[in-house]
């Protein structure tokens, strides 16, 4: 490829590993780090180098991509003295693709700018399969010039859209997560209503496809709910983190979101019952509990 980038990739878990894989297969030079080293080492056959620390991983990188678990984890690794931002070279670009609070993204952007580093917050949606297939929805906030410079690279991972200044990408992801969480709850209820009412839930789902009730959740997650296959693509505890962050922002904006509040409570109960590591489609288990239906 004509525009090979040296990429430091931090976080090679469920989402990060297939994303790093796609970038390596596209010809970019990848040096990766993960707290559990074996997850990064799985990329060695692709020619990916392994960094011993986050700071050493990003040295001399053109682009640093972050796919870590939370805002506090990102802040610890990026902003600490002798951390990632201090190790990055001037005029390189930091792309935080983790789902983090808007305020964290704005703070990181300011710290990057003070060091002459470009910044994009670019969280994603599409789950593990979207990462594998390069079909992620990528919601980017930051400078238009930085976005345009990296649009070709991001297109290896999915469909990037710049939605505004730094922090706007995280805001768009919170909007996405409210839609996802509420739709999972509604599809869960619909499948239970069909079951208890005496219809075949799988056939009901089939009948709805193509109509106004159709959705990615109905297509992808309703079969998982019916098969009770909750191997995580997006763990419920991460969904809860995002809905809690969205509601905290709404509260700061004096915005009442009663549906999101109720759905957040369902996810809180799901995690409290020990199901946080299951896929977020496992919310149906919480509704089955409330209705004395077998799990």
* CATH number, residue 268: 1.10.1040.10
For residue 233, name the pLDDT band (cuts at 50, 70, 90).
confident
**Is the domain of 145 the same as that of 269?**
no
Average pLDDT in the chain:
96
Q: Is the pLDDT of residue 1 over 70?
A: no
**Is the domain of 15 the same as that of 158?**
yes
Q: Is the pLDDT of residue 162 over 90?
A: yes
**Is the domain of 109 the same as that of 67?**
yes
- Full-prediction pTM beyond 0.75? yes
**Is the domain of 113 the same as that of 218?**
no
**Is the domain of 160 the same as that of 176?**
no
Query: What's residue 207's pLDDT?
Result: 98
In a domain, 295, yes or no: no
Q: What pLDDT digit, counting tens, does each position of 84-142 carry?
A: 999 999 999 999 999 999 999 999 999 999 999 999 999 999 989 999 999 999 999 99
Q: How far apart are the first and last CA of the chain?
A: 50
Among all chains, which residue has been given the structure tokens 């962050």?
Answer: 245
Catalytic residue set: 173
| C-beta contacts of 148-155 below 8 A and 24+ residues apart | 149/93, 149/118, 150/63, 150/93, 150/95, 150/120, 152/3, 153/3, 153/5, 153/23, 153/28, 153/63, 154/95, 154/122
**Is the domain of 107 the same as that of 158?**
yes
In a domain, 254, yes or no: yes
In a domain, 199, yes or no: yes
C-alpha of 261 from chain center: 21
- Residue ending a domain, among 104, 138, 164, is 164
Range of the domain at 156: 6-164
Q: What pLDDT digit, counting tens, does each position of 77-99 carry?
A: 999 999 999 999 999 999 999 99
Nearest Cα residue to 46 out of 30, 58, 59, 33: 30
Share above pLDDT 70 across residues of the chain, in percent, rounded to a whole number? 99
Query: What's residue 222's pLDDT?
Result: 98
Q: Is the pLDDT of residue 265 over 70?
A: yes
Domain count, the chain: 2
Nearest Cα residue to 71 out of 107, 39, 40: 107
In a domain, 1, yes or no: no
Q: What is the CATH number of the domain that holds 130?
A: 3.40.50.720
**Is the domain of 13 the same as that of 133?**
yes
Among all chains, which residue has been given the structure tokens 């600490």?
Answer: 80
Nearest Cα residue to 220 out of 211, 230, 212: 230
Query: What's residue 183's pLDDT?
Result: 98
Report how far residue 129's alpha carbon sits from residue 158's, in angstroms, rounded to the nearest whole number: 11
CA gyration radius, the chain: 20
Report how far residue 284's alpha carbon sits from residue 225's, in angstroms, rounded to the nearest whole number: 7
Token pair, residue 119, equals: 């910044």
């Amino acid at each position: 490829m004509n525009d090979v980038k040296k990429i430091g990739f931090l976080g090679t878990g469920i989402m990060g590993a297939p994303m790093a894989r796609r970038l390596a297969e596209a010809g970019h030079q990848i040096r990766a780090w993960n707290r559990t080293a074996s997850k990064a080492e799985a990329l060695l056959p692709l020619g990916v180098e392994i960094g011993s620390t986050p700071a050493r991983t990003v040295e001399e990188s053109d682009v640093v991509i972050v796919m870590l678990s939370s805002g506090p984890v990102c802040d610890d690794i990026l902003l600490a003295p002798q951390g990632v931002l201090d190790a990055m070279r001037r005029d390189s670009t930091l792309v935080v693709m983790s789902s983090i609070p808007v305020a964290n993204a704005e703070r990181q952007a300011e710290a990057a700018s003070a060091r002459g580093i470009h910044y994009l917050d670019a969280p994603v949606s599409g789950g593990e399969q979207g990462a594998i297939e390069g079909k992620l929805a990528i919601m980017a906030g930051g400078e238009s010039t930085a976005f345009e410079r990296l649009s070709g690279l991001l297109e290896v991972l999915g469909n990037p859209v710049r939605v505004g200044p730094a922090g706007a990408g995280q805001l768009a992801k919170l909007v996405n997560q409210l839609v996802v969480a509420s739709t999972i709850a509604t599809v869960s209820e619909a499948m239970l209503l069909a079951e208890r009412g005496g219809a075949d839930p799988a056939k009901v789902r089939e009948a709805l496809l193509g109509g106004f009730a159709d959705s990615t959740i109905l297509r992808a997650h309703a079969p998982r709910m019916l098969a009770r296959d909750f191997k995580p693509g997006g763990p419920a505890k991460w969904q809860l983190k995002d809905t809690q962050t969205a509601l905290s922002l709404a509260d700061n904006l004096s915005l009442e979101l009663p549906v999101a509040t109720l759905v957040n409570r369902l996810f809180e109960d799901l995690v409290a019952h020990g199901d946080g590591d299951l896929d977020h489609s496992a919310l149906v288990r919480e509704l089955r509990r409330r209705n004395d239906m077998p799990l």
